[in-house]
């Protein structure tokens, strides 16, 4: 039993997978935050452009 515990403690199979899962989750989370910020800024810019274009009159 003691030998099994020592082997289990020293076994590193799967540790790289856990690292990659955590890194991937972090990257996806950061991407969602950045996309939310970009979306808000582009919506505000679009509204501003629409307002200014609505003020323009085109002569016939």
- CA 18/CA 42 separation, integer angstroms: 36
pLDDT at 8 over 90: no
* Alpha-helical runs (H) found in 1-60: 2-10, 15-54
- Would the pTM count as exceeding 0.85? no
pLDDT at 11 over 80: no
Q: Which two tokens stand for residue 17?
A: 């997978």
pLDDT, tens digit, 9 for 90 and up, residues 12-45: 677 778 889 999 999 999 999 999 989 988 999 9
């Amino acid at each position: 039993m003691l030998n099994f515990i020592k082997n289990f403690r020293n076994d590193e199979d799967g540790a790289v997978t856990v690292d990659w899962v955590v890194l991937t989750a972090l990257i996806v989370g950061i991407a969602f935050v950045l996309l939310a910020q970009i979306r808000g800024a582009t919506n505000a810019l679009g509204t501003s452009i629409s307002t200014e274009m609505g003020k323009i009159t085109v002569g016939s």
